[in-house]
């Protein structure tokens, strides 16, 4: 295998120093990937019906735009009692009403079931995007809890061995069962095999 590592652009239409993005970069770099952030206001494709389609189309668009491998991510919180809301529009809704707004919508609701989905789309120019999905099953708490993390870490309780803490209260658990980490692990497993196969062709 060549000693030169291929550069992969992690595309972001959000501020460079957003905590979630920094965590993703750190995780990939720790696995010895040569990644960098590229801020780009790419089309959001919000009219699409799933996170997978959204991430796939965005990754294809960006890889052709800069003609190199890219990673695009999409995440969503799907709350059962709210008919999977906020779902695809999680980012926008969290900016508008935040965790307090979500909790307000669930006042008096006994069904707190929710899914946290994360899609990592990897695309090389002229090739079809590859998708790696992470899903964490859990519940929405009745109040914001914890002091660490971001976005809905403060209200999401993962379903893990009768755990009662939010991700914000147990960041270590988040890195073990969180949807982002699950998707990244799937991607890294595939990518290392992909690189080995490419090296054999040389």
pTM of the model: 0.89
Please, which pLDDT band fits residue 48 given cuts at 50, 70 and 90? low
What pLDDT is attached to residue 24? 87
Tens-place pLDDT, residues 94-150: 889 999 999 999 999 999 999 999 999 999 999 999 999 999 999 999 999 999 888
Long-range CB pairs of 78-83, under 8 A, 24+ apart, other chains included: 78/114, 78/115, 78/116, 78/117, 79/106, 79/113, 79/114, 79/140, 80/111, 80/113, 80/114, 81/106, 81/109, 81/111, 81/112, 81/113, 82/106
Q: Is 46 exposed, middle or buried (0-12, 13-18, 19+ CB in 10 A)?
A: exposed
Residue spans per domain, the chain = 8-201
Tens-place pLDDT, residues 2-28: 344 679 999 887 654 467 778 888 889
- Residues with Cβ within 8 Å of 140's Cβ and at least 6 positions away in sequence, in order, are 79, 102, 103, 106, 112, 114, 155, 156, 157
Where is mean pLDDT largest: 41-50, 61-70, 169-178, 192-201? Answer: 61-70
- Angle at which helices 179-201 and 19-30 cross, to 10°: 40
Task: Kindly state the DSSP code that residue 6 receives in the 8-state scheme.
Answer: P
Where is mean pLDDT largest: 74-83, 159-168, 172-181? Answer: 74-83
What pLDDT is attached to residue 14? 63
Tens-place pLDDT, residues 66-108: 999 999 999 999 999 999 999 988 888 888 999 999 999 999 9
Q: Reply yes or no on whether the pLDDT at 65 is more than 80.
A: yes
Higher pLDDT: 160 or 109? It is: 109
For the segment(s) 8-201, the CATH number from 3.90.950.10, 3.40.50.300, 3.40.50.10190, 1.10.3720.10 is 3.90.950.10
What pLDDT is attached to residue 91? 84
Please, which pLDDT band fits residue 42 given cuts at 50, 70 and 90? low
Q: Is 201 exposed, middle or buried (0-12, 13-18, 19+ CB in 10 A)?
A: exposed
CA angle 149, 152, 158 (to 5 degrees): 90
**Rg from Cα positions in the chain:** 18
């Amino acid at each position: 295998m060549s000693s030169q590592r291929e550069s992969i652009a992690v595309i972001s239409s959000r501020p460079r120093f957003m905590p979630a993005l920094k965590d993703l970069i750190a995780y990939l770099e720790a696995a010895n990937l040569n990644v960098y952030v590229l801020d780009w206001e790419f089309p959001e494709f919000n009219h699409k019906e799933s996170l997978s389609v959204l991430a796939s189309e965005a990754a294809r668009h960006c890889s052709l735009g800069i003609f190199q491998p890219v990673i695009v991510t999409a995440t969503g919180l799907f709350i059962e009692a709210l008919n999977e809301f906020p779902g695809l529009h999680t980012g926008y809704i969290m900016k508008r009403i935040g965790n307090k707004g979500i909790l307000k919508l669930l006042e008096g609701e006994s069904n707190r079931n929710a899914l946290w989905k994360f899609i990592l789309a990897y695309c090389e120019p002229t090739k079809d995007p590859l998708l790696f999905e992470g899903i964490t099953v859990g519940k929405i708490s009745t109040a914001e809890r914890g002091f660490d993390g971001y976005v809905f870490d403060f209200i999401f309780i993962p379903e893990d061995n009768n755990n009662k803490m939010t991700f914000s209260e147990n960041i270590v658990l988040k890195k073990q069962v969180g949807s982002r980490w699950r998707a990244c692990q799937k991607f890294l497993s595939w990518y290392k095999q992909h690189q080995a196969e490419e090296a054999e062709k040389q």
